[in-house]
Structure 1
Amino acid sequence: MVDTYMTRLHELMVVLYAISILFYFIDFLDTNRKANKVAFWLLAIVWILQTIFLFIYMIQTGRFPVLTIFEGLYFYAWTLVTLSLIINRFLKMDFIVFFTNILGFAIMAIHTFAPVQIDSQVRAEQLVSELLLTHITFAMLSYGAFSISFVFSVLYLIQYDLLKRKKWGKRLRRLGDLSKLESMSYVLNVIGVPMLVLSLILGVQWAFIKLPEMNWFDPKVIGSFVVLIVYSGFLYMKVRKEKTGKSLALWNVASFLIVLVNFFLFGSLSSFHFWNT
């Protein structure tokens, strides 16, 4: 009975999330501040519910819930909502919040409506350790930073196209200027890359301790280092080569697509990683 109520509450949360995005879309089309305010408070309610469920799950399992693909998706969605609320509060960039929450909603919907994997839960209990939890948490936070950076780059490309075609209007002004969009994308990658480095260091250390027979050519392992390489390449192009503009934004978008491939496809192909089902 309790599980049924929890499931219904999760579904209600997804509905509230969808309504919030709808109001953000109204604001996106018509610069409607009332719609924006309603959307923000609905999103705040979603965040509160997510946080409550996160703590309940932590109490039930006695650990931080990131060891299965479904736990990871939930924490990923919670991270995106948290970051979008922070951006909305301190940067006042409504379009960033709107596009970020489209991504967050997709992740949340996958988590809510996908079938429960009991085997993954059992496997998670077998793999639990503080070192592993820290490794995964840093990885998820780095992916959250890369996700918001991706949104900034997409908006940069939209803004760039509008300016090139001389499409002036309110929407153009609300997107933010190109330099700010590019700067925020860079800053978030500066945050994400060291988090990913720390995550990989801890993951390698955990694997040496717990999985001495681990296959180091596992798709997930290779994919994680590829993600680090492409984002390090982004920072190198920005800092050392002083690259700016559209080409750098396209690099960042392509890098995030690799993140998604690593997160979903390589995770499902992995022979040992916690995403494996």
Structure 2
Amino acid sequence: MADITMARLQELTVILYAVGLVFYFIDYLNKDKVAHRSAFWIVMAVYVLQSAYIVLTIIETKRFPVLSLVEGIYFYVWLLIALSIILHLFYKVGHAVFFLNVLAFTFMTIHTFAYDQQHQSPIGEALISELLFIHITFAILSYAAFAMSFVFAILYLLVYKILKKKKWSKQFNRLPSLHQAIIGMKVSIYTGIPILLVSLILGVRWAWIALDDWTIFDMKILGSFFLIAVYGMVLYFNRSGRLTSNDFAWANIIAFLFVIVNFFLGSKLSQFHFWM
């Protein structure tokens, strides 16, 4: 009965979110205040339903649901929607909110299709610890930060194209300035790198304590260090003047593709990262 309730809750959330995105798209095209307000409140309802699902899962499993790939994706979506709500309420960057929700909905769809395949991590309950929980949570937080840099990079290129062609539209006033988009990219990367580094340190420490058979050359670990190196180089080349603002935006987009690859493919190739 509980599984059926959870499944129905999932379906309702996806349907509501799809409706919310339709309203956001209408607002994106026509600058419609009613559609904009409706989209926001629908997304708020989605966020409440997601939070309820997480709470019900905690009650049922007696742990925070981030210990499998499917759970990790869901928590990632929850974070992206939370970021979109914060941006809507405090920063008034409507297009960033729209693109962030498109990204979140994509991951929610992936989660929904994978829901029936969800299973308990084979490492066993005995090895689940607070250290592991913090490691996984910090990793997902860093992915959310990198998603923000990706969204601001898209917005920068969009504004740059509009300014270059000098074709204004009613949506233009709701776009961030080029400077705001650059700042958004930089702040997101400055936030994501240290959080991912802390996650790696905690993860390696947990593996050292809890696992008998593991290697630092695991694909997931190498992929995470590679992500830190990639984003670090993007920042360095931008600060040294080797990456112009336009190239900096493209570098952020390419770097986020590596985040996606590491999130999914890295887990498949890893020897012990069964959960994310």
Shorter-chain TM-score tier: over 0.9
Letter paired with 2:176: G
Aligned to 1:224: 224
- Give 1:240 shift: 4.2
Partner Cα separation in structure 2 for residue 153 and residue 118 of structure 1: 33
3-state SS of paired residue (2:150): helix
Aligned to 2:125: 125
Aligned to 2:75: 75
- Give 1:206 shift: 0.8
Aligned to 2:273: 273
* Pairs within 5 Å for 1:31-110: 31-110=31-110
Identical aligned pairs, as a percentage?
Answer: 47
Partner Cα separation in structure 2 for residue 231 and residue 200 of structure 1: 15
Q: Given the two structures, how large is their TM-score scaled by the length of structure 1?
A: 0.95
Partner Cα separation in structure 2 for residue 271 and residue 18 of structure 1: 36
Partner Cα separation in structure 2 for residue 118 and residue 232 of structure 1: 34
Partner Cα separation in structure 1 for residue 52 and residue 68 of structure 2: 19
Query: Would the alpha carbon gap of residues 162 and 118 (structure 1) be closer, same or farther in structure 2, given more than 3 Å must change?
Result: closer
Contact 1:268 1:275 in 2 (8 A): no
3-state SS of paired residue (2:70): helix
3-state SS of paired residue (1:207): helix
Partner Cα separation in structure 1 for residue 236 and residue 124 of structure 2: 37
Aligned to 1:7: 7
Once the two structures are overlaid, the 10-residue window that deviates more, 195-204 or 172-181, is 172-181
Contact 2:122 2:274 in 1 (8 A): no
Query: Would the alpha carbon gap of residues 10 and 219 (structure 1) be closer, same or farther in structure 2, given more than 3 Å must change?
Result: same
Contact 1:77 1:108 in 2 (8 A): yes
Aligned to 2:199: 199
3-state SS of paired residue (2:190): helix
Aligned to 1:145: 145
Once the two structures are overlaid, the 10-residue window that deviates more, 140-149 or 118-127, is 118-127
- Give 1:145 shift: 0.8
Which runs of 5 or more structure 1 residues have no equivalent in the other structure? none
Instruction: State yes or no: 1:208 paired with 2:211.
Output: no
- Give 1:50 shift: 0.6
- Give 1:275 shift: 3.4
- Give 1:75 shift: 0.3
Letter paired with 1:56: L
- Give 1:266 shift: 1.3
Q: How many residues align?
A: 276
- Give 1:122 shift: 4.7
Query: Would the alpha carbon gap of residues 124 and 150 (structure 1) be closer, same or farther in structure 2, given more than 3 Å must change?
Result: farther
Once the two structures are overlaid, the 10-residue window that deviates more, 242-251 or 61-70, is 242-251
Aligned to 2:156: 156
Letter paired with 2:45: I
Query: Would the alpha carbon gap of residues 183 and 118 (structure 1) be closer, same or farther in structure 2, given more than 3 Å must change?
Result: closer
Aligned to 1:233: 233
Contact 2:30 2:170 in 1 (8 A): no
- Give 1:194 shift: 0.8
Which runs of 5 or more structure 2 residues have no equivalent in the other structure? none
Aligned to 1:173: 173
Letter paired with 1:215: T
Letter paired with 1:78: W
Report the RMSD for the aligned CA atoms in angstroms.
1.6
Letter paired with 1:222: L
Contact 1:68 1:124 in 2 (8 A): no
Letter paired with 2:58: M
Partner Cα separation in structure 1 for residue 233 and residue 121 of structure 2: 36
Q: Given the two structures, how large is their TM-score scaled by the length of structure 2?
A: 0.95
